[in-house]
Each structure stands twice: as structure tokens, then as C-alpha cells.
Amino acid sequence: MTFIDKLSAAWQTQNSQLCIGLDPDPAKFPAHLQGKPDAILDFCKAIIDATADAACSFKPQIAYFAALRAEDQLEEICKYLRERYPHIPVVLDAKRGDIGATAEQYAREAFERYGADAVTVNPYMGFDSVQPYLERQDKGVIVLCRTSNAGGSDLQFLDVGGQPLYQHVAHLVADKWNTNGQCALVVGATFPNELAQVRAIVGDMPLLIPGIGAQGGDIKATVEAGRTANGTGMMINSSRAILYAKPDEMFAQAARQVALETRDAINRFCV
Amino acid sequence: MTFIDKLSAAWQTQNSQLCIGLDPDPAKFPAHLQGKPDAILDFCKAIIDATADAACSFKPQIAYFAALRAEDQLEEICKYLRERYPHIPVVLDAKRGDIGATAEQYAREAFERYGADAVTVNPYMGFDSVQPYLERQDKGVIVLCRTSNAGGSDLQFLDVGGQPLYQHVAHLVADKWNTNGQCALVVGATFPNELAQVRAIVGDMPLLIPGIGAQGGDIKATVEAGRTANGTGMMINSSRAILYAKPDEMFAQAARQVALETRDAINRFCV
């Protein structure tokens, strides 16, 4: 089953367009996990088990594991997700971007080592930097388009022949790179008008939408701008607001509560 | 000592502007190393020892380690370089690009975990995605500008207010991001005219120049386009042409020979 098929099925069976970002920061873990050797793994498993029925996808952010020499725990988390929740796609958030031979190594990392269903990539180095991922036709390739951070406009909002660069990227991916129907785009929730413009450009292509929750994006405006005609098409990501909903032993239950509320808030505007 | 000071000193004491890229691909290792558990470490140490006196910097490409679960060997290689060759700066080629909180994790990975002197980063997400690296004022931040791959033109050559995007990035880094004098740019050797234009924009800022050797860039044209007024300013990278100069037990000696020849070819056009 391809990433896109798995995601489409998850939207229906899970009744959710909430993507749960796994950005484990041990400094924010509850006290009873602090200092444990596999704290990251234990924390993430508890979050996953508590929130899986509210999620259409999980998105581990590899930087948090790389900073802490915890790639082995990321492997375990991906394996856990594949075995326990095979119906929920795993997006490795790595934002890779490099020349072909190097991108081939990163593709092996994402899809063979971690067994992810999709990976985020950066478009700055152009088509051949994305091609090795595209060659895995069952995998999803999620290209950065319009990001939710303050500096996102520095390049992405530059005028390129009458349109901002991020719209050029949306056209490039939709019209040229997505020959196998496996692409998606990252478009931040902080700019609903721009999200709507990307949706108009890319048709039903899935959008990974960070920027709600801790980053402050408005759910109603996001959903109305990002949904497809049939009310799907989105992985609306929330990480910190769910992971760190409560700083004590009740963290997983609190995460579940926030995840369910966020899923429901999204669904409210999808009909 | 800052990255820039260390690099400037290495240009002089090493009499070299050759950067040796460590892209270890076990499939290309000589037979006697095949299948050994620490083959990557052994291969890289042999290359380092054989070529160190010809190099102004070493540049491990993290993708090759990540694909093979060999981060521990990369740690060992960086430690080996710091201890044995403390005068030669280590550039971690990771091309990171993410929002601030995540970039902070990647900065920890590059500078604390691996102890690199500099890291390559992607500009697509703008200033705040680069800021966490810049906050380590002794470290080098090497921003992708004009890359040597075929698809590099897809975005980098787009016209932005009368100049191609890569020149806009060069201005952005030189005029706004480089407040502490710690930045450098990646500019491929495959387009000497464009390299010359970047040099004209950024003054004496160091340039990391991939694309000679296996990628086919011409050394004379590269040096004449990329050198500063005093004949320095470059880390001209070669990886595969040096690492895989010979596929047998003489690989390190052959690598040394190619490294010395490449260093000398660069120096010939620097005076």
C-alpha cells in the first residue's frame, strides 16, 4: 500500500486529519521519566498509545533524536508504530536536501533504516535532489513549500515572475515532480490565505500543515483554507501542545485529551 | 579559535585550499575492509592520515553515516580529527534547514555531539532557521547558495528582482545574516561565471566549492573565479576522486597522491 493510499484510508477509518509530531525534548519530560536511559522511547510509546486513535499520522522529528544520540530509540519507535499501528502512516520529518548520490543515502536512511512511509524534503537544490525519494514509488515525498516560521518569508515570499517563490514551488511539484502521485507539500497554518492559494494550485494533493497549537495558527481558518472539496487532504500537525500538555505522570492522558479535542476541532470545520 | 580563524590559519600553514570530503560508501571500499564491523572508521582514518598534510579542511557527509547506522563511527572520526589534526577544521556536511527550536537541536548535534567547527545549512526557511547556528559565534555557518548539481537551477536560477535567487541569497548572507563574520557559502565549481559573481558580492567570505573531481568542474576556471584578492578564500572540495582513487590495499597512498596533485593544481592558479 502506498503512502497516499495509507493516508487516505487513515483519514476515513481514523476520522482524523491530525498529525501528531514526535519532538521529544527530555527537559520537558515528567519527573518520573527524567534520567531513565530509554526515556525518549518510553515517553514516545506512551504518547503514541494514548493518541493513536486520534491521529491520521505520526511525524517523528529526527533532529531531537540526532541531538541526543538516540537514533536507536527512533528506530524502536518506528518499529513500534509499524507493528502496533500499521494503518497509521509515519512521516519522518528530516527536511533533507542534497545532491542525488547523497539524497540516495538519505532515502535509505528514511525508508530502509527507519521504515518511514514518507519523508519531508527541501526543494532548494532542485529536482535531482528529490528524485531518489521519488524512485521509491510507494513512499511519500513531502516538499517544503511555505513554512510557518518567522523567517519563512525571507526566500519563500520573494517575487518570482509575478508569484511568490512558494507558489512557484507548489506549481513545480504539482506539475513536474509529482509524476507518480506520491508528493505532498508542507504549508504552514500561520498564513491561511497562502494555504488557500496553495490548495488552489495543487488540487487534492495532501498538505502537511504545521503551525497550529504552540505556534498559534487558528484551526478554523486553517481547515477552511486547506481542505479539499471532499473535506480531507490535510495532515494538520501538532507537537508540543499535545506532547507537553501536562508535566507530570498524567502526561499521556493529558496528551490524549488535547489530541482528541484538536481532532474534533479540525473535524468540526471539515463538513 | 573561531572556525574562520582556524580555516585562515590552515590555508597558510597547510598551503592548501583543498577540502577532503568524507563520503564513505562501503560498496567502494577495498576488499580487505569489506565486511569489517568498523570498516567506515578504518577507511576514513586511513584516508585522513594519508591526506591530512594536503588538506585545509575535512568534510564528513553525514548522510553516508546515517544510511548505515554509523553515527558512532562518525563521532569517532570527528574525535580523531580533533585530537590528531586540531589545526584542520571539520565541516559537518548536513545541509540542515528547519524552524528555530528544531535547528537548535541540529546545532547541538553538529557542534556538541560531533564537535564540528562548521556545518552546512539550507537557506529556504530563512533567518530564524539559521540563527541557532549563528549563536555559536566561534562556529562556521556555511549556507547553500549555488549548488553544483543538475537541478540546482530549478530554484536557484529563478529571477528575483533582476538577479537569480542564488545571488539574492549571497547578498542576504553577506549583508544581513553574517553579523558576526562567521558565515561562508556553498557555490559549485560547475559554473565558474556564477562563482565569480558570488565572489564579487561577498568580498572575502570563504566559499566551500564542491564539483571538481568526480563532478567534472575545471580547477583553473574554478580558482580564477573563486579566489580572493590575496589568493585564498576557498575550500575546494573533492570526495570520490580522492577516496576511491584505487580500489585495493593501496587506496590510501593513491588517495594521498590525488590529494597532493589536486592541492598543487589549485595552488598553481592562486598566485
Q: Is the pLDDT of residue B214 over 70?
A: no
Partners of B147 on chain A (C-beta within 8 Å) are: 99, 124-126
pLDDT of B42 reads: 98
> What's the residue count for chain B?
271
User: CA-to-CA distance for B255 and A66, rounded, in angstroms?
Assistant: 31
pLDDT at A13: 98
pLDDT at A148: 86
Question: How many domains, chain A?
Answer: 1
Q: A137 to each of A45, A222, B74, how far by Cα in Å? A: 29, 29, 31
Cβ-based contacts of A136 with chain B (< 8 Å): none
Quickly tell me which residue has 526515556 as its cell: A39
Interface ipTM: 0.97
User: How is B206-229 classified by DSSP, letter by letter?
Assistant: -EEE--BGGG-B-HHHHHHHH--T
Contact (Cβ atoms closer than 8 angstroms) between residue B235 and residue B93: no
Question: How many CB atoms within 10 Å of residue A178?
Answer: 18
- What integer pLDDT is reported at residue A239 of this predicted model? 96
CB proximity list for B212: less than 8 A, separation 6 or greater:
B189, B218, B219, B222, B236, B237, B238, B241, B262
Contact A52, A87 (CB under 8 A): no
Is B95 a known active-site residue? yes
Give per-residue burial for A194-212: e unless 16+ CB within 10 Å, then b. Answer: bbbbbbebbeebbbbbbbb
Mean pLDDT across B76-87: 98
| Gap between the Cα atoms of A10 and A13, Å rounded | 5
Closest CA to B236 of B256, B246, B224, B222: B222
Query: Mean pLDDT over all residues of chain B?
Result: 96
Residue B54 and residue B263 in contact, taking contact as beta carbons nearer than 8 Å: yes
Query: Average pLDDT, stretch B54-71?
Result: 98
Which chain B residues are Cβ-neighbours of A172 within 8 angstroms?
154
- Rounded to whole angstroms, how far apart are CA atoms B223 and B17? 10
Q: Is A76 on the interface with B (CB under 8 A)?
A: no
Residue B271 buriedness (CB in 10 A; 0-12 / 13-18 / 19+): exposed
Rounded to whole angstroms, the Cα distance separating A28 from A240 reads 10
Q: Do A128 and B148 touch (CB under 8 A)?
A: no
Residue B197 φ/ψ, nearest 5 degrees: -70, -40
DSSP summary character for residue A245: S
Q: How confident is the model at residue B211 (pLDDT cuts 50, 70, 90)?
A: confident
B196: cell is: 565569480
Q: On the CB side of B176, how many CA atoms lie within 13 Å of its CA?
A: 13
Classify B82 as helix, strand or coil: helix
Q: Which of B28, B45, B79, B95 is catalytic?
A: B95
Q: Is A113 left (phi over 0), alpha (psi -120 to 50) or beta?
A: alpha
Catalytic, out of A95, A139, A220, A246: A95
Tell me, what amino acid is at A160? Answer: V
Predicted local distance difference test score (pLDDT) of residue B224: 96
Domain of residue A263, CATH code: 3.20.20.70
> Which distant-in-sequence residues (6+ apart) come within 8 Å of B45 by Cβ?
B77, B80
| A126 → closest Cβ in B100, B101, B154 | B154
With an 8 Å Cβ cutoff, are B63 and A103 in contact?
Answer: yes
- CA atoms lying within 13 Å on the CB side of residue A147: 27
pLDDT at B216: 60
pLDDT band at B225 (very low <50, low <70, confident <90, very high): very high
**How many residues are there in chain A?**
271
Interface test with A, best of B98, B168, B239 (most A CBs within 10 A): B98
Are A108 and A83 in contact by the 8 Å Cβ rule? The answer is: no
The pLDDT assigned to A216 comes to: 60
Determine contact: B28 vs chain A, CB below 8 A.
Answer: no
DSSP B252: H
Distance CA B174, CA B230 (A): 19
Q: Determine the structural domain holding residue A109 and report its residue range.
A: 3-268
pLDDT tens column, B144-197: 999 989 999 999 999 999 999 999 999 999 999 999 999 999 999 988 999 999
- pLDDT tens digits in sequence order for chain A, 271 residues long: 999 999 999 999 999 999 999 999 999 999 999 989 999 999 999 999 999 999 999 999 999 999 999 999 999 999 999 999 999 999 999 999 999 999 999 999 999 999 999 999 999 999 999 999 999 999 999 999 999 899 999 999 999 999 999 999 999 999 999 999 999 999 999 889 999 999 999 999 999 999 886 566 699 999 999 999 999 999 999 999 999 999 999 999 999 999 999 999 999 998 7
CA distance A56 to A78: 15
- CB contact, 8 Å: B125 with chain A? yes
Residue B52 has pLDDT above 60, yes or no: yes
When pLDDT is cut at 50, 70 and 90, the band that residue B36 belongs to is: very high
Residue B217 has pLDDT above 90, yes or no: no
